[in-house]
Amino acid sequence: MSISFTFNGRPLEASAGQSVGAALTSNGFTAWRSTRKGGRPRGLFCGIGVCFDCLVTVDGDANQRACLAEVRDGMVVDGVEPLEGDRT
């Protein structure tokens, strides 16, 4: 089953039951956070909720782990995208 969500206002599709991280990855995004010090892009790393690298804002709640949160229909996801051209 396909569901719709937005990432930084952009409408996207995902499969029901996917994690937010998987939904972003399958839409071609590998990074959605920027580090505090070096401004470096970050996305999924440990994949199981340990490293907190994949933090993203979900429906207004900041600092949610994209690897654990399940994407839902109508979900509003916000993060820091890397510059154009860095995507897959």
Partner 1 sequence: MTEHVVQVDIFWADVAVVGAGPAGLAAAVAAAEAGASVAVVDSAAQPGGQYWRHRPETVIPDPDGRGHHDWDVYLDLRSRFDAARTRGAITYLPGRSVWMAQKHDDGFTLRTTPTLASPTPVATPTLASPTPVAVRGRRLVLCTGGYDRQLPVPGWDLPGVMAAGGIQAFIKANGSLPGRRFVIAGTGPFLLPVAAGIAEAGGTVVAVLEASAPSAWLPHLRAAVGVPEKALEGAGYAATFARHRIPYRTRSVVTEVLGENRAHAVRTARVDSAGRVRPGSERVYDDVDVVGFGWGFTPQLELPVSLGVATRIDADGSLVGVVDSRQESSVPGLFLAGEVTGVGGAALAVLEGLAAGGAAADGTGAPPSSAILPPKAAARAERHRRFARAMHQAHPVPAAWSEWLTPETTVCRCEEVTAGEITAARSELGAADSRSLKSFTRAGMGWCQGRVCGFAASCLAAGNSHPSEPSLAASAKRPLAAPVSIGELAALNDADY
Which residues contact partner 1 by CB under 8 A? 1, 15-19, 21-22, 25-26, 30-31, 35-38, 40-53, 55, 58-59, 61, 63-65, 67-70, 72, 82-83, 86, 88
Query: Least distance to partner 1 from the beta carbon of 87, Å?
Result: 8
Closest to partner 1 by CB, 6 or 15: 15
Rounded Cα distance between 54 and 34, Å, is 10
Query: Least distance to partner 1 from the beta carbon of 12, Å?
Result: 15
Q: Exposure string (b/e) for 2-28, b if CB count within 10 Å is 16 or more?
A: ebebebeeeebebeeebbbbbbbbeee
